[in-house]
């Protein structure tokens, strides 16, 4: 694997749960298959402009971006630790 792809991250997600706070804030919790939870948020300045669908979409995007960072760090650590041993094997077998 030369780079991390969105479909690989999507495969880690079991489900997304949403909660609205107040009149303008939305939180998305991505629950991964391993039980880990990644949180994303979105907000709107004017309650009159709040759209629940947009709020959910933006909160999901925020959580997904955080998952991308976390998984990128995790894979980089795995590759660095295995570089002296079997880097090509790990790259092929991880996904």
Distance CA 16, CA 8 (A): 16
The torsion angles phi and psi of 44, rounded to 5 degrees, stand at -130, 135
Whole-number Å distance between alpha carbons of 66 and 43: 17
Which DSSP symbol is given to 22? Answer: T
- pTM equals 0.83
- Over residues 34-49, the pLDDT tens digits come to 999 999 999 999 999 9
Q: Tell me which residues of the chain have a pLDDT lower than 50.
A: none
In the prediction, which pLDDT does 81 show?
84
Backbone angles phi, psi at 49, to 5 degrees: -95, -5
């Amino acid at each position: 694997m030369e780079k991390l792809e969105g479909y690989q991250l999507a495969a880690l997600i079991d489900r997304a749960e949403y909660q609205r706070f107040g009149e303008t804030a939305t939180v998305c919790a991505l629950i991964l298959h391993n039980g880990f939870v990644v949180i994303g948020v979105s907000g709107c300045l004017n309650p009159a402009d709040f759209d629940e669908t947009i709020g959910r979409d933006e909160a999901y995007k925020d959580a997904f971006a955080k998952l991308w960072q976390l998984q990128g760090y995790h894979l980089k650590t795995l590759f660095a630790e295995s570089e002296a041993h079997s880097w090509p094997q790990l790259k092929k077998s991880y996904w």
